[in-house]
Amino acid sequence: MRNTSSEIKEKQVTDLTKGSPVKLILSFYWPLILTSMLQQFYNFADTWIVGKGLGDNALAAVGNMGSLFFLIVGFSFGLAGGFGVLIAQSFGAGDEERLRHRLAGVIELGMVLSIVLSIFSVLFLPTALRLIRTDEFIMEDSLRYGYIVFGGLAAGICYNISASILRALGDSRTPLRAIIVSSVLNLILNSVFIFIFGMGVEGAAIATIISQIVSSMICVGRLRNIQLIKLNKEHFINDRSVFAELLGNGLPMAFMNSITAIGCMVVQSYINAFGVVYTAAYAACSKYLNLFMNPASTAGSAMSAYASQNYGAGEYRRIKQGLGVCLGISVVAYITLGSLMVFAPGQLASILLSGDEQIALVCEFLPVCGVTIILVDALFVVRSAVQGMGKPILPMISGIVEMILRIAVISLLIGKIGFRAAAYAEVGAWVGALIINVYALRIALGPKHGFSSGRLYGNLNL
């Protein structure tokens, strides 16, 4: 039986192990989706301001950083997600001391992570840009933007980790408030730096860093006021087992994101080889793809927190119920947003781009992904359910398959069908990853490894 104390019942956190799964997930989801949409919105606004204020080449320079940024930030985001799973499991189990020791370990690892990733990314940025065959016309802008964004990486990592902890405790509202404030600030600073002060792409980068610092401060301030996780010096005296379990769950999720990013970088390099027109078009396509995947990706985040708490509490049947709710959200997102990609690609492209050739290329890409985006929508939910149960290895393997398929498709098709090959590379990657994660989930829900036994994947951390 769970050891639920008065502290755990406090309104500062939300117990996702009791009550209607539909109501709990939806009440948790709406602040989460608003947070995520605002993040996408201010990223989108960055792109619009850069494109309209500085031109398509500047847009290409900023968009060119997308895969590199995902490589580094995706790694930190995966670690934060893995840490959050264990925090949520401790909370669901009612194990307060274990929760606090794990939280102290997350803080210590997060500090080391910020320093190491910042130094690594700044030092290797020029080499990475050459590896993805960045056009000389945009190399200088890419470097100026990248040095600032990667130099201030600690702010983004702090937000990712603190927001992940809050969501693990059932608080999806504080990250929303943080993003509302930082989004407004980001838009104001972007406009001031570029349109008034006449700054180049570095203006957009500085605005991003400042807004991330503000969002981090809001989340950290909230964490400091939660009595359940008040820490003292003893909690920071951890043995190796605490760090081992945190890294054991976080690193596979981090590597999965980075492996996926490597596949995206290879695609970016093939696109860049065709010139700045292709690079700009691909930057716009990537922005829309990320935007329209967002509702399902957020449903996956909700599923991860929900599955983690219920797995820790031993409430295994509720995980199945939550899975159905989150897949339903994905279907609704597919019908609405996929239709926009299929029936209005030109209108979408013209919002970000001004060149006719770039817009025509976007019109080749978006309909293909619009028809098939349900695959990645389902992938987000299924994969998050598996990860939320503390089984990150098969999802990591799916990331490897995703990378291999993405590279294989782009290399085989781009010489034959041109820019559309990038869209088919996405679809191929989604299919391969989804198959593996459905298999992983089937093992978790199968009769031999059913939840009644309390064991998933036997003694293997798959």
Q: What is the pLDDT of residues 249-308, one digit of tens each?
A: 899 999 998 888 888 888 988 998 898 899 889 988 998 998 899 899 999 999 999 999
Q: Give the pLDDT confidence score for residue 445 in this predicted structure.
A: 67
Q: Coil, strand, or helix at residue 42?
A: helix
256, 395 contact by CB (below 8 A):
yes
- The closest of 304, 303, 260, 268 to 397, measured between CA atoms, is 260
Would residue 280 count as lying in a domain?
yes
432, 417 contact by CB (below 8 A):
no
Torsions phi, psi for 456 (to 5 deg):
-120, 135
Annotate 134-147 with DSSP letters as a single string. Answer: --HHHHHHHHHHHH
CA separation (Å) from 110 to 103, 106, 229, 246?
A: 10, 6, 17, 11
Structure tokens given for 92: 């669901």
Which residues, in sequence order, are CB contacts of 401 under 8 Å at separation 6+?
A: 432, 433, 436
Q: Give the pLDDT confidence score for residue 183 in this predicted structure.
A: 85
Q: What is the dihedral of CA 256, 261, 267, 271, to 10 degrees?
A: 170
Would residue 222 count as lying in a domain?
yes
Structure tokens given for 40: 């996408």
Q: 15's torsion region: left (phi>0), alpha (psi -120 to 50) or beta?
A: beta
Q: What is the dihedral of CA 40, 44, 50, 55, to 10 degrees?
A: 140
Taking only Cα atoms into account, the Rg of the chain, rounded to an integer number of angstroms, comes to 21
DSSP character at residue 11:
T
Q: Give the pLDDT confidence score for residue 450 in this predicted structure.
A: 43
Please state, in angstroms and rounded to a whole number, the distance separating the CA atoms of residues 33 and 26. Answer: 10
Would residue 15 count as lying in a domain?
no
326, 300 contact by CB (below 8 A):
yes
Domain count, the chain: 1
pTM score, two decimals? 0.78
Would residue 458 count as lying in a domain?
no
- The closest of 76, 217, 224 to 157, measured between CA atoms, is 76
Give the domain extent around 125.
22-453
Q: Give the pLDDT confidence score for residue 460 in this predicted structure.
A: 37
Would residue 460 count as lying in a domain?
no
Look-up of token digits 């264990």:
86
Q: Give the pLDDT confidence score for residue 12 in this predicted structure.
A: 55
Q: Give the pLDDT confidence score for residue 4 in this predicted structure.
A: 43
| Backbone CA torsion sign across 378, 365, 259, 243 | negative
Please state, in angstroms and rounded to a whole number, the distance separating the CA atoms of residues 9 and 18. Answer: 11
Q: Give the pLDDT confidence score for residue 446 in this predicted structure.
A: 59
Torsions phi, psi for 238 (to 5 deg):
-110, 145
For residue 39, the number of C-alpha atoms closer than 13 Å in the C-beta half-sphere is: 23
Would residue 319 count as lying in a domain?
yes
Would residue 12 count as lying in a domain?
no
Look-up of token digits 């069908």:
417
- The closest of 151, 182, 150, 178 to 165, measured between CA atoms, is 178
- The closest of 346, 201, 355, 370 to 280, measured between CA atoms, is 355
Please state, in angstroms and rounded to a whole number, the distance separating the CA atoms of residues 319 and 304. Answer: 10
Q: Give the pLDDT confidence score for residue 8 in this predicted structure.
A: 41
Q: Give the pLDDT confidence score for residue 434 in this predicted structure.
A: 96
Would residue 37 count as lying in a domain?
yes
Q: Give the pLDDT confidence score for residue 118 in this predicted structure.
A: 92
Q: 232's torsion region: left (phi>0), alpha (psi -120 to 50) or beta?
A: beta
**Residue ranges, the chain, pLDDT below 70:** 1-12, 42, 44, 46, 53, 56, 238, 445-462
